[in-house]
Amino acid sequence: MITFLILSALGMGVTQFLKKSTGTATDSQGSEENRQRLQLITKTLKEDLQQAVFLNPSCAENPAPNPASAINTPCSDVSVRGGVQPYPGTALSTISALSSLSPPANLEAATSSLAILTDSLRILSYDFTGSFNCRLNRGRAINPSQTAGQGSGAERLWADSSCSALLGATSVGRLFILSEVFDTDTSSAATTDLIPYSNLFQITAYSDLGTELQIDVQSFNNRFNQIGGLARSGFSNRARIYPVKFIEWSYDDGSGDQAAGLYRREIRPTSTDLLGYGEWKLIDPAAVGIQFYPLTATTTTPIVHQRTLQLDADANNNGLEDIKGITPRIVLQGERARTDGKTFDNPLTSTVETGNFSITDARFFVEMRNTKTNN
């Protein structure tokens, strides 16, 4: 009897040891799988963010100091007002249904008011490799022109003929920014007050005139072009043109048309598809959610915004153009369940879950490369 009891105790100990070892191995394997998946997400998202355009639109409330052009376009008439556009508490189905590129109504809302625990993000990114350098034709005194063009709300730009290899007929429908650096204090010889301004536009007509390239930008009933046109935003014939595209990141919980997971898509219009909304590509099917924490920096302190933007009157913290970096928070769920009864909680929710799949809660910071401080 004593021998039987000893053997039974040893058997139970061995069973518990094997069960714990199996659970630990499963947990370790799940953590390693999460780590590998996180590396892929981090690499892709970081590359997208580091190519974000420094979009500092010139409009009535944020004018470029160019006295040669009347700046009377309200900033509300500018479709896109920042190279990085957070959409707090927005799911994939919601951002897919948007017919406007304007900032969301809850951009500066209290974080506690967000009903959805995950966020979306839209990035305006440069769309070229190697070198791209296209300037306006400086031979024209008024360039861009606010009166020429075809149709209501049209205007015309003339680019240097050397840009023909970079633009061409395939440019119709594509997205570009018009960018120019202005001296905000002409009374001083210092160069620390040079500020770049840039506005988004879509080419709606193109003609190669031999000595110059004629570009029409139709703002009437156009999703991307600002109302009133670029010439009303203070740009001169010293501005330059760069091709861009949009990249969006979002999460879907599986309740809509998509399966659950983390998604990415590109918006790249063409002459045959003037909206250019690409298909959502599944990045990770086992992601639990994603949040974005923007960072701005005043002259005295950095400000980490809690998903929504906490803006104020400070010139370095009063608009989307002031975002210097983004901290994405990504929560991943393992694909293998623990067998020893250990449970895991989703940190994004207020309730305590008791799932058997390992959870990885990761954050990393991405600094914007194309800000006005290092442009």
Instruction: Flag whether 92 is in a domain.
Output: yes
Confidence of residue 5 (pLDDT cuts 50, 70, 90): very low
Domain encompassing residue 56: 49-330
- Count helices and strands (H / E) in the chain: 2, 16
Query: Across-strand partners of 74?
Result: none
- Going by the DSSP 8-state scheme, the letter that residue 308 receives in this structure is S
Locate all alpha helices (DSSP H) within the chain, ordered by sequence: 2-50, 92-97
Strands (E) across the chain are located at: 84-87, 120-126, 134-135, 154-160, 175-183, 194-202, 205-208, 212-218, 240-252, 261-267, 281-284, 287-297, 302-304, 325-337, 357-363, 366-367
Long-range contacts (CB closer than 8 Å, 24 or more residues apart) made by 41-47: 41/262, 41/283, 41/284, 41/287, 41/330, 42/330, 42/362, 42/364, 44/264, 44/283, 45/249, 45/328, 45/366, 46/364, 46/366
Residue 263 identity (one-letter amino acid): Y
| Beta carbons within 10 angstroms of residue 85's beta carbon | 23
Over residues 146-171, the pLDDT tens digits come to 665 555 566 889 999 999 988 988 89
Token duo for residue 11: 């058997």
Q: What average pLDDT does the structure give for the chain? A: 85
Listed residue (268, 285, 305, 281) closest to 119, CA to CA: 305
Q: Which residue has the tokens 């506690």?
A: 112
Residue 324 lies in a domain: yes
Answer yes or no: is 120 within a domain: yes
Asked whether residue 41 is assigned to any structural domain, the reply reads no
Residue 345: CB atoms within 10 Å: 13
* 62 DSSP assignment: B
Whole-model pTM?
0.86
Average pLDDT, integer, range 211-225: 89
What was the pLDDT predicted at 25? Answer: 42
Report if residue 89 sits inside a domain.
yes
Given this model, what pLDDT does residue 188 score?
59
Instruction: Please state the domain count of the chain.
Output: 1
- Report CA 116 to chain centroid distance, whole Å: 19
| pLDDT tens per residue, range 288-322 | 999 999 999 998 899 999 999 999 999 899 999 99
- pLDDT at site 153: 61
Report whether pLDDT(31) > 90.
no
